Amino acid sequence: MWVLAALTTSIGFGINNTIFKWSTADGKTYSKLHVQFFFYLAAFLMTAAYGIVSGSLHVSVISVLLGAFIGILNANGNIQMSMAFEKGPASLTAPLIAANAVFPILTAALFFHEKITGLQLIGIVFMLGAALVIQYTPKSKELSDYLPWMLRVLFAVLSFGVLGVLMKTTSYLHLSSIDVLTSMYGGGGVYLGVRMAFRRNKILPPEVKIGTCVGMISILSYSCYFYALNTGMASIVFPIVSLNCLVVVLAGCYFYKESLKVYQVIGIAAALLGIVLTKI
């Protein structure tokens, strides 16, 4: 069941990334900062309302601190990733940032003492390799502004990597997912709101609608994420979640008529094989 939850998380993240891609494609000028802010705001209001009405919201200092930090890391990671794509080639940027999954996987094995069999280890390698291969795009633009690009990539990797470690920590401490989610969306929303206040750009109505839609999908995705981490093996959950790029690639084929390369087909097959191996 937890594998299904991890797959649902991966699909949800992939759908949201596809929406982000669509919102800035074909000459659209929607602000990713604005879309993210309304995504966090909508998700915060919905999770807080559900927690209060159901009586399941019992925030503590540790859940607020960890949740808010996770929200800030996720928001900052998305911003740094967008800036990295602007500074350098996607063929290098996407695979490097996808490698952030290595941090929580190593943490799960070293500090949370998860036991990984030989076949499961092979499956993990297959899934991580697939995440790198699927996103590889040769013949992209030349690398420019090397230092700024490298710093953006590094900040994105650290943000997403530490986020994964903290997600596992919340499950290890048996913190309520609704408490952490509410704090995560609240903390991320405040962080993005402060950034918006400094820029003072005009907010467009579609940005509010897109952000709200992304927020609803995010709630389902992160709820499944917490369930998978609470009931399954984090060292397997993280590679499965990293395969959200597969959804983006397939969506690109369907909506933008992008053709799959041979190496991407091989990557998809490797990803599926990796998932099977982790369950043997």
Domain borders along the chain are: 2-278
What is the pLDDT, as a whole number, of residue 90? 56
Q: Give residue-wise pLDDT tens across range 173-184.
A: 999 999 999 999
In angstroms, the CA 77 to CA 160 distance is: 6
pLDDT at 42 over 80: yes
Helix (H) or strand (E) holding 233: none
pLDDT at 203 over 80: yes
* Mean pLDDT of all residues in 148-153: 83
Quote the tokens at residue 140. 């992209």
Q: For residue 93, what pLDDT band results from cuts at 50, 70 and 90?
A: low
In angstroms, the CA 140 to CA 232 distance is: 38
Asked if residue 34 lies in contact with residue 203, where contact means CB atoms within 8 angstroms, the answer is yes
What is the pLDDT, as a whole number, of residue 228? 92
Q: For residue 230, how many C-alpha atoms fall within 13 Å in the half-sphere facing its CB?
A: 14
Q: For residue 78, what pLDDT band results from cuts at 50, 70 and 90?
A: confident
Which span out of 15-19, 58-62, 96-100 was modeled with the highest average pLDDT? 58-62
- Provide the b/e sequence for 142-177 (b: ≥16 CB within 10 Å): eeeeeeebbebbebbbbbbbbbbbbbbbbbeeebbb
Asked if residue 229 lies in contact with residue 171, where contact means CB atoms within 8 angstroms, the answer is yes
Quote the tokens at residue 51. 């927690």
* Mean pLDDT of all residues in 198-225: 90
What is the pLDDT, as a whole number, of residue 72? 95
Q: Which is more confidently placed, 113 or 152?
A: 152
What is the pLDDT, as a whole number, of residue 147? 79
Cβ contacts of residue 18 below 8 Å, gap of 6+? 247, 248, 251, 252, 255
What is the pLDDT, as a whole number, of residue 127? 78
**pTM score above 0.85:** no
Please give the share of the chain, as a percent, with pLDDT higher than 90: 34
pLDDT at 141 over 60: no
* Mean pLDDT of all residues in 201-219: 90
